[in-house]
Structure 1
Amino acid sequence: MTLGLINANPVVHAKKERVARTEDLHGDEAVDPLEIYDILLSVDPEHPYSLEQLSVLSEESITVDDKLGRILITFITVQHCSKATVIGLCLIVKLKHYFPPHYKVDIKVSPGSHANEESVNKQLNDKERVAAALENQTFANL
C-alpha cells in the first residue's frame, strides 16, 4: 500500500505487450491513436502504475480526425478522484509537446465515471487553465 493516495489500493490490470515505436510523430503521415496511446502511458501524477494498468486510458478511448486536426481523448476515473483535472491537464500538456499547434486536443472524463464530471470537463476546456499548465514546470517535466 502506498501512503497518501486517494485510491491507495486500485485494481491493477496487466500491461499489454507492444513493440516500442520509433517513428517521427511530427511528420506528414496520419496520426495513429496507438501512437498517442504510447505517448500517454507514462503519464500519471498519483500512482506508480501506468494509466493502462489503472484502466484510466485505453486505445479505444482515443479518436483522431486528421482532416480537422483534432484529437479527442476520454478517460475514466473513480467517482471522487481528486486528481481527475490534474490527470487531464497532464494528458493535454504531454500531447501539446508532441503535436504541432494546429492540432486541437480535447480531453474529457468518460460520462458517468466522475461525480463532478461537468466541472472537471469545464476545467479541462478552460484555455487559461491549460495555458497555465503549459507554463508550469511540474507539467513541463512530463
Structure 2
Amino acid sequence: MVAGLINANPIVYEKKERRGRSVPSTADGDEYSVEPIDQLEVFDHIRDIKDPEHPYSLEELKVVTEDAVEVDDKHSHVRVTFTPTVEHCSMATVIGLCIRVKLLRSLPSRYKVDIIVAPGTHATEAAVNKQLNDKERVAAALENPNLVEMVDQCLAPSYD
C-alpha cells in the first residue's frame, strides 16, 4: 500500500461467483464463424485487475461491475464505465488505463473500446475520460516505463 492514501479504508465487497457461459453452437458448420463477445466475458477480463493503491481487485472495490460493461458485438464496440472509490481519486486515470490495456490484450483487434468514469463520480471526470479515450495520449502514457510497470503490476494474476 501507498502512504498518504486518499481512501485509506475502502469498502471491500465480496467477489461474485464466476459463472460458466453457454457457448452458442455453429449449426451451419462454418469453421470460420466468430463467437460473439458478451458482457460477462468482458467483465471476466477486467474483474481481477488489482487496484493500484490497495491489495484488492477492482471488483472487490466495486470500481467495475458486470452491469457497467456494454458490448455491441455486431458493431465491435465495448464500453466500460468504472466508478472510482472516491471523488478525488488520484489513480482514476491509471485504473482506466489498466482496463484499456487489459482489453487491448484480451479482445480481438476489431473491437473499439471506450473507457469512461461513471457520470458524477469523479471531480475531473471529463479530463479523465478525454485522456483514456485519446489514442495519442494513451500511446504516450504507454511509452512511460514507470507507468507501464504500474499497469503490469495491476494486471499481474494473483493466486489467492
Tell me the TM-score normalised to structure 2 length: 0.77
Equivalent in the alignment of 1:31: 37
- Shift of the alpha carbon at 1:64? 0.3
Please list every run of at least 4 consecutive aligned residues from structure 1 whose deviation after the TM superposition is greater than 2 angstroms.
Answer: 132-137, 139-142
> d(CA) in 1 for partners of 2:35 and 2:95?
28
1:58 to 62, 65, 68: 65
Q: Residues 19-55 of structure 1: CA distance to partner in whole angstroms, max 9, x if unpaired?
A: 477x8xxx81110111111111221222111111111
Instruction: Count how many residue pairs are aligned between Structure 1 and Structure 2.
Output: 137
Q: TM-score, normalised by structure 1?
A: 0.86
Q: Could you tell me which amino acid in structure 1 is paired with residue 65 of structure 2? A: S
Q: Which runs of 5+ in 2 are unaligned?
A: 24-32, 156-160
1:66–1:112 Cα change, 3 Å: same
Percent of pairs identical after alignment? 57
CA RMSD of aligned residues (A): 2.1
In structure 1, the partner of 2:133 is 125
Worse-superposed segment, 59-68 or 121-130:
121-130
Confirm whether residue 116 of structure 1 aligns to residue 116 of structure 2: no
Structure 1 unaligned spans of 5+: none
Bigger Cα displacement from structure 2, 30-39 vs 104-113: 30-39
